[in-house]
Structure 1
Amino acid sequence: MTTNRTEMSRLEGETPAQRLLALLEVIAGKDQFFTLQGMVEETGLPKPTLHRMLQQLESSGMLQREADGRHYSKGNRLRRLAENLLLHDTVHGARHAVLSELVEEVGESCNITALSGGEVLYLDRVETSAPLRFYLHPGSRVPVHCSASGKLFLAQMAPAQRKRLLDQTPLKAFTPNTLTDRAALEAEIETVRDNGYAFDDEEFLPGLLCIAVLAPHPEGPSNVGLAIQAPVMRMTREKALACLPALQRAAQAIADISWDAVPEAEELATADH
């Protein structure tokens, strides 16, 4: 059996704990019992290493051994973890509902983003039902300098903080429209700061236009962006700006949901400062 390189890449991590979590993620996606040898063939990990990892998961209750002693299955603790996550993740559900309503209103794909290091991370996404669309699933990462949300995150940074980040971020050209000159990018960031919204005009993917705003934070900088993305054959800058009020309403709704999820003690501590 050939090694599944996709699964191997999912088991990569800088620490043993990260690799153990990656293995658990692979196991969570299975709908059958599995054996040690089967996982060795699937992941390409050395048998002693994988055996030790499975023992750790079994001893913690995340996995259990079946009656034959050879097969493993998901443990009760892992099931409880999944049930509790689904039961209590109302913040994600509420924000996803706002995202879905925005897609229904504007007719194009929309996503929620956050800044993660020097990249923009897709936290959630709802696709349009239109036949022509770009697929960028939650968990996708795009460079900060050619993302509409990324420009907004850069625009709210202090100059020294932005310089520190961009000094370590190659301004790679993904399309002819990508801003690869620091002076040009700084000028764009200044415009974004003045406008309160940003465009990605075919700067990351050819044929894709994006407009984004930040979900406002009552105490300062925000790390939540909201964006509309569409093919340029359906969306111009003018049409995108016509969607801006709907985008801003959705961003405020997401900000309200996020702030409401902050424990009261933290709200009081923030207010005292």
Structure 2
Amino acid sequence: MTTHRTDMSRLEGDTPAQRLLALLEVIAGKDQFFTLQGMVDETGLPKPTLHRMLQQLESSGMLQREADGRHYSKGSRLRRLAETLLLNDTIQGARHAVLTQLVDEVGESCNITALSGGEVLYLDRVETSAPLRFYLHPGSRVPVHCSASGKLFLAQMAPAQRRRLLDQMPLTAFTHNTLTDPEALEAEIETVRRQGYAFDDEEFLPGLLCIAVLAPNPDGASNTGLAIQAPVMRMNRDKALACLPALQKAAEAIANIHREALPDAAELASADR
């Protein structure tokens, strides 16, 4: 009998709480009851360790023991947590609606990104209905130096901060257009800073063109990028620039969603007391 083993990196963490959360993520993905021994076989963790972790989750209401005493299932508290998250996830829903409207307007795939270390993380994405498209799902990561959004994130950094980041990562050439020379990349970043928008002109994937802007943040640097992506056979730089007003309007709408979601000054003052 072949036993499926979970990627152990999912159960690693610097603290017991982090490891417990990692185990809960594995359990949340299950669609059937499970046993202690089954989890031992799947994760490779010592049986006493897993037994203690399952006891903690059971005592907190995150798990419950079935009638036979051997099988576990998701507890009422975990189910309530999932339901509450879905009911109150209005920010993500509102942002996704803006993204969907932008795709309808420009006819190409669009995404929302954030800077995570030296990579650009895809937070959300809506695909075009056109038959030819590139699939980059939420959770995908792209190196910062060859991403349109990444160049914008770099452009708002102080020069010393930017050098510190780029000095620690390889400027890998993914295509013939990837900027791998630090001076050429710095010149490109300066152009991006002046323009307020950036291109990825087949720098990460051959045949893919991208234009991006940042959602404005009047209080400082923005960590929200908004981008349009299309195959070069349907979009060139001129066509991408024609979409820029729609892209900027969507970015402003997302910025407004973020501002409305922030607590007001009275709430912050009350929390500090």
Q: Place the TM-score, normalised by the shorter chain, in its bin.
A: over 0.9
Give, in angstroms, the shift of residue 222 of structure 1: 0.7
Give the TM-score normalised by the residue count of structure 1: 0.92
Which digits, 9 at most, give the CA deviation of each residue in 1:146-170, with x for residues without a partner? Answer: 1100000000111111111111121
Which residue identity lines up with residue 104 of structure 1 in the other structure? D
CA contact under 8 A between 2:5 and 2:41: conserved in structure 1?
A: no
Work out whether residues 146 and 200 of structure 1, in 8 Å CA contact, stay in contact via their aligned partners in 2.
Answer: yes
Q: CA-atom RMSD, angstroms?
A: 1.9
Which deviations, in whole Å up to 9, do the C-alpha atoms of 1:112-150 show, x marking residues without a partner?
A: 111111111111111112222222111111111111000
TM-score by length of 2: 0.92
Letter in 2 for 1:149: S
Residues 224-271 of structure 1 show CA distances to partners (whole Å, capped at 9, x for unaligned) of 0001111222221111111111110000000000011110027987xx
Query: What displacement does 1:68 show?
Result: 0.6
Compared CA separation, residues 204 and 222, structure 1 to 2 (3 A): same
User: What is the identity, as a one-letter code, of the residue corresponding to 1:36?
Assistant: L
Aligned to 1:64: 64
How many residue pairs match? The answer is 269
Number of the residue aligned with 1:142: 142
Distance in 1 between the 2:189 and 2:97 partners?
30
Against the structure 1 CA distance between its residues 206 and 11, is the aligned structure 2 distance closer, same or farther, given a 3 Å change threshold? farther
Partner SS state of residue 142, structure 1: strand
Match of 1:82 in 2: 82
Q: Which residues of 2 match residues 94-105 of structure 1 at below 5 A? A: 94-105=94-105
For residues 263 and 210 of structure 2, what CA distance do their matches in structure 1 show? 34
* Alpha-carbon contact 2:57-2:63 (below 8 Å) kept: yes
Sequence identity (%): 87
Q: List runs of 5+ in structure 1 lacking aligned partners.
A: none
What residue number does 1:161 align with? 161
| SS of residue matched to 1:233 | coil
CA distance in 1, matches of 2:260, 2:106: 26
Gaps of 5+ in 2: none
The residue number in structure 1 matching 2:180 is: 180
Residue 73 of structure 1 aligns with which residue?
Answer: 73
Q: Following the alignment from structure 1 to structure 2, what is the Cα–Cα distance between the partners of residues 190 and 69?
A: 64
Once the two structures are superposed, what CA deviation does each residue of 1:11-33 show, in whole Å capped at 9, x if it has no partner? 34444333322221221122211
Matched-pair contact (CA < 8 Å) for 2:119–2:144:
yes
- The superposition leaves residues 183-208 of structure 1 with CA deviations (integer Å, 9 ceiling, x where unpaired) of 00000001101111001111111221
Alignment check: 8 A CA contact 1:120 1:149 kept: yes
